[in-house]
Copies of this chain bind each other. A is one copy, B any other.
């Protein structure tokens, strides 16, 4: 400690209140009041012991051949593949048989819990209803998986990211760059895969801050948070964009930049090539699981506490408009990612919480807004039911002028006309379980709607919601979509597995 700092600290500290006398280290005062940057680009050593359990594993012999890379998307720029959340990739008729007909395998990630076990770990001490999301948030896959060039990429709350051969399910690499949960859907662009690190946790200082001010910061001083860039082929570390709050949302990639929101109320544009900050906008509130999407030069995302959907200029970070949903509960909008298509943004949230005899109920409200102005175009109520634990909304998906959206509040999916909000059908999820079902986006693929919720994958008639088929996978799906390439459905599971299922096992009418 140099004398200058001591002297500065003494000046701050000698406030006349201190009967007991002051002594070193008073630099703590100075340190405590310094202006910390809200982000840091790191390309140095990571805290990982060589030969230890968090060391990267790389098995090039398991990488797909050129023939097995063909037919897949070449990049993955957004959570659930695109701004519509529809991860559907048909292949041509002359694609290899395995790709057309599909493959089936289950890969056990680091904290795998037997798929045959119907109850989550710790179901007695937490109750099944709470233990289900705890298993998702701390040990399993929160979101769906990414399919690029014959490789399945997944992030898990077991703190590892995985790259598997899409045909065989064999491990190509695994890496755990940070001691934190990886809640996102990996983004792949160029030679890189981008992960987002952050947990649902608050430390005690931020518990007190919320009690005093109604504002807080999620993930701050809860391990280390941010966006990580790895080489997509080897898993080798490239850079880390550290943030003060958690980076639970999946970043969106566009124009050579990554856009991400954090638990400290910031939105960042990051240079995807080197992890340097391009711009930063403090919008306030906390990011939960509302993944930004990019549409026509603008970034759309939602925040919690206070609940708002924001539209930012992708070049400058300027907030162009913000909009809310009346009665939204404090975390409701920040949990759900908006979708955008045909100039319309669709956002949903739980709202209008009521308590009767200790039982909390909410509505699920969907709102469509003008992507240009934020003006509300239509609004609809999906119905009332018990307040679900943890993630409380449903991720919407748009296909061909129709919005498909679920909600765990009353465990339904609905289809609505994108322009008018007119209800086309309501489908009740069977076997929804005590935490409710209907969180993940549906996938529209070759005339059929696929839904992964509870322990099942379902195939529905998208026009009528009539059940075409279902397949029992086991475990439970969180905010997971069916990622479909050719004849295979790829999934991430709360029981900490990555699953591949032939489409034909869900939909008996499917011909590859």
Contacts and interface: CB of A to CB of B under 8 A. Distances in A.
A119 to B, nearest CB: 11
A112 to B, nearest CB: 4
A204 interface: yes
Interface in A102-117: 108-114, 117
A386 B24 CA distance: 9
B361 A12 contact: no
Contacts of A133: 221
A159 to B, nearest CB: 8
A499 interface: no
A297 interface: no
A108 B410 contact: no
A447 interface: no
Contacts of A357: 12, 15
A138 B52 contact: no
Interface stretch (A336-344, A370-378, A427-435, A476-484): A427-435
A49 interface: yes
A210 interface: yes
Given A114-B45, A361-B13, A496-B49, A412 B222 contact: no
A19 interface: yes
A47 B203 contact: no
Nearest to A264: B125
A21 B224 contact: no
Interface stretch (A35-43, A84-92, A228-236, A464-472): A35-43
Contacts of A436: 25, 28
A124 B40 contact: yes
A129 B133 CA distance: 33
Contact of A36 (B53, B124, B224): B124
Contacts of A428: 23-24
B200 A204 contact: yes
Contact of A386 (B13, B242, B244): B13
A204 B202 contact: yes
A33 to B, nearest CB: 7
Interface string A382-419: 11111010000000000000000000001110000000
Contacts of A174: 53
A125 B242 contact: yes
A176 B139 CA distance: 13
A65 interface: no
Contacts of A135: 47
A17 interface: yes
Interface in A344-382: 354, 356-359, 361, 363, 381-382
Contacts of A40: 122, 124-125
Interface string A67-88: 0000000000000000000000
Interface string A201-239: 111101110110010101001111010000000000000
Given A47-B111, A386-B26, A386-B32, A179 B221 contact: no
A185 interface: no
Contact of A384 (B20, B160, B243): B20
B223 A49 contact: no
Contact of A28 (B31, B39, B354, B435): B435
A242 B126 CA distance: 9
A41 to B, nearest CB: 9
Nearest to A224: B122
A127 B221 CA distance: 10
Interface of A: 1, 12-13, 15, 17-29, 31-34, 36-40, 42, 45, 47-50, 52-54, 108-114, 117, 121-122, 124-130, 133-135, 137-139, 157-158, 160, 174, 176, 179-180, 199-204, 206-208, 210-211, 214, 216, 218, 221-224, 226, 242-244, 331, 354, 356-359, 361, 363, 381-386, 388, 410-412, 428, 431-437, 496
29 contacts: A12-B359, A15-B357, A17-B354, A17-B384, A19-B384, A22-B385, A25-B433, A25-B437, A28-B129, A28-B385, A37-B125, A42-B122, A45-B114, A47-B111, A47-B139, A52-B108, A52-B111, A53-B53, A53-B54, A54-B158, A122-B224, A125-B226, A125-B242, A138-B180, A138-B223, A138-B224, A202-B207, A207-B210, A211-B211
Given A13-B359, A139-B223, 5 more contacts: A13-B385, A26-B385, A28-B435, A126-B244, A202-B202
